[in-house]
A and B are shown apart, each in its own frame.
Chain A
Amino acid sequence: MSIRYTKDHEWVLLDGKIATVGITQYAQGQLGDIVFVEVPAAGKALTAGGEAAVVESVKAASEVYAPVAGTVKEGNAALPDAPETVNQDPQGKGWFFRMEVANPADVEALMDQTAYDKYLQELAG
């Protein structure tokens, strides 16, 4: 299963019905030094595009949206005490939450690596 991306710069990695979600390298670069992260509690129901987590840098605050509908299995408990992990390893140890997705095909429909790279190029204009 390969990685998928959203236009809000979240990445999604699906394993069976369980998706791991975080923010992309590009997103952490845009935010700058991350100082606070709030992750969702297990059991929280998520709708596609709904607010799932919060990430803050010194000068900006942003929501992390659920890429697809589903239910939270766990939030990354290490992040609130070490928000800098998101800067250091956004697509690894800096994951935000794992969710059981309602419909795995929804993930498949998101941007793949090539499409996301192209999207980033468009943003850079």
Chain B
Amino acid sequence: MRYLPLSEANRRDMLGVIGAKSVDELFRDLPAAALAKARIDLPKSASEIEVERALSAMAAKNLNCGQGPSFLGCGNYRHHTPASADYIIQRGEFLTAYTPYQPEISQGTLQAIFEFQSQVALITGMEVANASMYDGATACAEAVTMATRVTKRNKALLSGSLHPHYRDVTLTNAKFLDLDVEALPPDPMAVEDLLGRVDDTLACVVVQTPGFFGHLTDYAVLAKTCHAAGCLLVVCVTEPVSLGLITPPGHIGADIVVGEGQSLAGPACFGGPGVGLFATREKFLRQMPGRLAGETTDEDGRRGWVLTLSTREQHIRREKATSNICTNSGLIALAFSVHMTLLGEAGFTNLAQLNHATAVSLAEKLEAIKGVKVLPQTFFNEFALKLGKPAAGVADKLAAKGILGGVPASRFYPTFPELTDVLLVAATETNTPADLDAFAAALKEVLS
């Protein structure tokens, strides 16, 4: 087997040094009854070319987003990944390193994390950010439990603008921790009343911007109302490219900003792995979950970085830790950070503008179709469409034409009949003017 360096001669020599007759003898502590039962009915080893054939055949059964115009979003976006970003994350020194527990020989990872933390803090408008969480949904759930620790209250309110997966993961955590979390119904018209629901028993209110249905909402007043009630405002961002164009949540008063970094980190990859972004105010630092890299100096006085404040974490605090997270999303955080570094201020804002302009062009073409209505007045690169026909069937028909033309809201809200004809559509810099025209023409045909 090509991944195993020991030869039969090596094995014999080594058994001699150990003083064992066979490898099986080393397994003598395993229960004999269980060993006797262990029949493992799986294929035998395969050459590289055979593995490639098998997996390529599986991959070929999917319609990939590069095979035709694609307009899918809902928290997972198709952006162009610069070639150098994917090259850098495949360098073995990043790809095949462990968590940087030995800082003397992990300065590359540690400095990259420090730069990532700095970038996330800047784009969210917050004071500190951690080294990453698993994904946006789990980061959202962690934000709610953090808010309960900070405020010592156990109630939370989730806006209907929140991604339904973020809502569900948060509700799952809440159920097991006996937290009282209320999730408001989906809010496609952005009319829900959050202000009237804030009171001094709430640990936090969780909103999303841009909202799940695309709306851009100014939450500055909500932030003030929350703070007056001693409650935190948690803002989720599922499309971080939006932060190149719209006011960062930190500037309107968010206390915790969480998000999903996938859109800048790399391809959709069927939704995972992503990278959870987590930022907050310095005064809440001790209650923040996840790893942190911090600046220090070495014995020669040279600047360097270490993992720090780890007494919050499970390996020291055990059952009193802020979270049980250990492995996070290191490499995806690196991919996010490299792309952000390649973009810089100018590239990031240009990319955001191009996304918005493409989405506006698309909205104009689609709302020109009879019976089609764009629901949000304001949006970034994604919006809900009302079609007047069941959206799931429309999406299937578009797919049959080779166009991935949006996600039906009914996939997330099967018990809300009023959302049956709502389709969620996103546009990015990967969509050409010809793609937009092809989509508009196909949608017109499917709806007629």
A–B contact at 8 Å CB threshold (below): yes
Which A positions have Cβ atoms within 8 angstroms of B?
36, 38, 56-61
Q: A-facing mask of B286-321, CB < 8 A → 1, else 0?
A: 100000000000000000000000110000110010
| B310 CB contacts on chain A under 8 angstroms | 58-59
B interface: dominant SS: helix
Chain A neighbourhood of B320, CB < 8 A: 61
Residue of B nearest to A60 (CB): B316
Residue from B310, B311, B317 with most neighbouring chain A CB atoms (10 Å): B311
In the bound assembly, the distance between CA atoms of A38 and B320 in angstroms comes to 15
**Complex CA–CA separation, A60 to B311 (angstroms):** 6
Contacts of B311 in A (CB 8 A): 36, 56-61
**Chain B residues whose CB sits within 8 angstroms of the CB of A61 once the complex forms:** 311, 316-317, 320
From residue A35, how far is it (CB to closest CB) to chain B in Å? 8
Closest Cβ–Cβ distance, residue B230 to chain A (whole Å): 16
Secondary structure class of chain A's binding surface, majority of residues: strand
Other A-B pairs beyond A36-B286, A56-B311, A57-B311, 10, CB < 8 Å: A36-B311, A38-B286, A58-B310, A59-B310, A59-B311, A59-B316, A60-B311, A60-B316, A61-B316, A61-B320
Over the window 147-160 of chain B, the binary record of Cβ atoms lying under 8 Å from chain A Cβ atoms (1 yes, 0 no) is 00000000000000
Number of A-B contacts (CB under 8 A): 16
The 5 closest A-B pairs by CB, nearest first: A61-B311, A56-B311, A61-B317, A61-B316, A60-B316
A60 vs B310: C-alpha distance when bound (angstroms): 9
A40 to B41, CA, bound (A): 61
A58 — which chain B residues lie within 8 A by C-beta? 310-311
Contacts of A56 in B (CB 8 A): 311
**A residues near B286, Cβ cutoff 8 Å:** 36, 38
Quote the shortest CB–CB distance from A70 to chain B (angstroms). Answer: 22
Minimal Cβ-Cβ distance residue in B for A62: B311
For the complex formed, measure the closest distance between the CB of B398 and the CB atoms of chain A, giving whole angstroms. 55
- Interface residues in B254-310 by Cβ distance below 8 A to A read 286, 310
Q: Offer 16 A-B interface pairs, CB within 8 angstroms, sorted by A.
A: A36-B286, A36-B311, A38-B286, A56-B311, A57-B311, A58-B310, A58-B311, A59-B310, A59-B311, A59-B316, A60-B311, A60-B316, A61-B311, A61-B316, A61-B317, A61-B320
Nearest CB in chain A to that of B320: its residue = A61
- How far apart are the CA atoms of A36 and B294 in the complex, in Å? 15
Provide the residues of chain A in CB contact with B316, threshold 8 Å: 59-61
Complex Cα spacing A56 to B321, Å:
13
Min CB gap A119→B, angstroms:
26
A38 to B285, CA, bound (A): 13
CA separation between A118 and B161, bound complex, in Å? 64
**Chain A nearest CB, measured from B285 CB (Å):** 10
Distance A56 CA – B320 CA, assembled complex (angstroms): 13
